[in-house]
Amino acid sequence: MSNDFTTAMRTAAINHSRPSTPGAEWWRSAVIYQIYPRSFADASGDGIGDLVGITERLSALSDLGVDAIWLSPFFRSPQRDAGYDVSDYCDVDPIFGSLADFDALRDRAHDLGLRVIVDLVPNHCSIDHPWFQQALAAEPGSLERDRFMFRDGRGENGELPPNNWQSIFGGNAWTRIIETDGTPGPWYLHIFDTSQPDFNWKNPWVWEQFRQILRFWLNRGVDGFRVDVAHGLMKKEGLPDVVEVADAAGLADAISAPHEVPYWAQPEVHEVYRDWHRVLAEYEGDRVLCAEAWVEPLAKAALWVRPDEMHQAFNFSYLGTPWEAERLRAVIDESIDAFTAVGAPSTWVLSNHDVVRHPSRYGLDTYGAAPASGIGPNTVDKPDDVLGLARGRAATALMLSLPGSAYLYQGEELGLPEVIELDDHVREDPTFHRTNGEVYGRDGCRVPIPWETASPAFGFSSSGDSWLPQPADFARFARDVQHGDPASTLELYRAALRLRAEHRLGTGALVWLEGYGNDVVALRNGSVTVLANVGSLAVDLPAGEVLLSSTPLSGRMLPSDTTVWIAVD
Ligand code: TEU
């Protein structure tokens, strides 16, 4: 089937919003590409990416072969957490453009056959949001204050925070306010930065606001939402102390901590998603909710995608799995079992805007360092870039062969590594500042991506500006030098996505294969045999046409750190 024809079919499907067919929804097998708007393409020349820039570059993504885009927040925001601190959920921040620019982006995406998912941030807003400003101006005990988590402090004069909760970004999770008459008042909860006050989801008013926000974007034609911190909205009654506080770098610790964390995964949160499920069901077409719920084990994360809740949940267990055959087989089995048990597809993900880019993670000696804590100039364990890229490409080729839906993060199709050499003064992640530089945080995976090797800012911005400086060696990762080079990472991704669609791997079923040794992850998905050699020794390749190989092959051997796809006779 020609590309043009496929595109035309997809566009027709989107424009006519066919009614959903249970079990055949597009998102069950989709490859969804995350755009981080600040760092994708800057049309205005101010050094920060924008919506017009995205629209101008969108054809590169349909050319890549993805099914949908997810846009990280572009809403009004003072940008203290790169847009995850929203001050108006129903408007575009001027640094990114306007609502008209969003409409143009959506139309262009749909014309190209790409669905559009936007980011929804319901756990907290910005302190600049009028709702929080109204709460500050209102009396203690007022309706306005009840929209957030205000509590009196402990100690004789309320000078101690209400409990021992720590911010995920480091430091205390509470900030004390000064009342309008100048006296110290209660404290408000912020699981993230001081600038991100948590909503009180026990208040029905908050539920109604978010229904309206969902409808605003659904009416504007979005195909779904990625839901930020989907495990955090409800807090345990009484806000009890955390028994053992995760350290400041403890994103991974907090997920896997054996104790119960009173601000994550409270059972009441599921009622919120049942409510949203009903809102989405008011609309034609297959609209999707994807949970960013850092919850383990996977059987627990699957609770977010029961049939009357969300549709997808990020598979962070997969993202956190080291390059070890036994662990990979185990997490793949666990994922398929957990999600199948609730009738949902598994998802797969290796990179996003919160974690060290996966080629760099796989190049570390001590893989397993919290992937969100970042790598910087003083990090002792620095990645081996060559080894990391080989493993990164092999890991992607394995991931894209699996049934279910896969998420890609912008720049991974170029094989971009984490940027390590960033000066302290250019770093913007609140994690870095709240831990006094102890945790580097996430700036290294957010550097604007290279498009053209010989253009200013490698084509990111016509003015040559870039909000985080791009390293000189981004020149060799630029899209234009990779395009058409069969050995490039870009062409590997394009080929994998084309073959994945042709062989319908996303809707397939996995069968494990024996006989390739312990270090080879060996599976069959429909008409394709997939072998990922995770060990250090080359192994014999079986007969059959090699459809894809993550490194060039010589003879009938499968080198280490390589994944191949072979046609089943
Ligand atoms: O991330 C949530 C987040 O930071 C998780 O990694 C969290 O630390 C985990 O639940 C710990 O168990 C989202 C966004 O992706 C991120 O960019 C934002 O900074 C954050 O929310 C706050 O909105």
Per DSSP, the residues of 345-357 read --EEES--TTS--
Please name the residue whose Cα sits nearest to atom 7 of ligand 1: 251
The Cα 391–Cα 563 span in angstroms is 9
Mutate to test the pocket of ligand 1, among 294, 431, 442 (most ligand atoms within 8 A of CB): 294
Of the pLDDT bands very low, low, confident and very high (cuts 50, 70, 90), residue 373 is: confident
Please name the residue whose Cα sits nearest to atom 14 of ligand 1: 228
Residue partners of 89: CB distance under 8 A and separation at least 6: 75, 120, 121, 125, 213, 216
Does an H or E element contain 361, and which?
A: helix 358-361
- Express each pLDDT in 398-421 by its tens digit: 999 999 999 999 999 999 999 999
Which residue is catalytic, options 228, 354, 412, 429? Answer: 228
Ligand 1 centroid to Cα of residue 232, in Å, is 10
Ligand 1 centroid to Cα of residue 4, in Å, is 39
Residue 15: pLDDT above 60?
A: no
Residue 176: pLDDT above 80?
A: yes
Ligand 1 centroid to Cα of residue 487, in Å, is 35
Rounded mean pLDDT of 303-329? 96
Ligand 1 atom at minimum distance from 168 CA: 8
Structure tokens at 381: 């364990």
- Express each pLDDT in 63-83 by its tens digit: 999 999 999 999 999 999 999
Could you give the percent of the chain with pLDDT greater than 70?
A: 92
Residue 16: pLDDT above 70?
A: no
The Cα 506–Cα 6 span in angstroms is 16
Q: Is 55 helix (H, G, I), strand (E, B) or coil?
A: helix
Residue 567: pLDDT above 80?
A: yes
Long-range contacts of 50-54 (CB under 8 A, 24+ apart): 50/95, 50/96, 50/97, 50/101, 51/92, 51/96, 51/97, 51/98, 51/101, 51/102, 51/104, 51/105, 52/97, 52/101, 52/104, 54/105
Ligand 1 centroid to Cα of residue 122, in Å, is 12
Ligand 1 centroid to Cα of residue 346, in Å, is 21
Which residue is catalytic, options 103, 282, 326, 333? Answer: 282
Rounded mean pLDDT of 29-39? 98
Mark 155-180 as b/e (b = at least 16 C-beta within 10 Å).
eeebeebbbbbbbbbbbebbbbbeee
- Express each pLDDT in 527-540 by its tens digit: 999 999 999 999 99
Residue partners of 97: CB distance under 8 A and separation at least 6: 50, 51, 52, 74
Cα angle for residues 46, 52, 58 (degrees, 5° grid): 125
Q: What is the 3-state secondary structure (H, E, C) of 189-253?
A: ECCCCCCCCEECCCCHHHHHHHHHHHHHHHHCCCCEEEECCCCCCCCCCCCCCCCCCCCCCCHHH
What pLDDT score does 367 carry? 63
Could you give the percent of the chain with pLDDT greater than 90?
A: 90
Predicted TM-score (pTM) of the model is 0.94
Residue 372: pLDDT above 90?
A: no
Q: Helix crossing, 269-281 with 204-219: angle to 10°?
A: 30
Q: Closest by alpha carbon to 196, among 260, 254, 242, 129?
A: 129
Amino acid at site 547? L
Residue 84: pLDDT above 70?
A: yes
Ligand 1 centroid to Cα of residue 448, in Å, is 20
Amino acid at site 418? E
Strands 510-512 and 347-349: unpaired
Mutate to test the pocket of ligand 1, among 75, 87, 228 (most ligand atoms within 8 A of CB): 228
The Cα 472–Cα 452 span in angstroms is 13
> Within 6 Å (CB) of ligand 1, which residues are found?
81, 84, 121, 168, 192, 228-229, 251, 254-255, 292, 294, 353-354, 372
Residue 249: pLDDT above 90?
A: no
The Cα 531–Cα 345 span in angstroms is 22
Please name the residue whose Cα sits nearest to atom 11 of ligand 1: 251
Please name the residue whose Cα sits nearest to atom 18 of ligand 1: 84
Of the pLDDT bands very low, low, confident and very high (cuts 50, 70, 90), residue 369 is: low
Mutate to test the pocket of ligand 1, among 84, 121, 125, 129 (most ligand atoms within 8 A of CB): 84
What pLDDT score does 494 carry? 98
292 catalytic? Reply is: no
Please name the residue whose Cα sits nearest to atom 2 of ligand 1: 229
Rounded mean pLDDT of 277-298? 96
Structure tokens at 58: 């969108």
- Express each pLDDT in 493-524 by its tens digit: 999 999 999 999 999 999 999 999 999 999 99
- Summary mean pLDDT of the chain: 93
228 catalytic? Reply is: yes
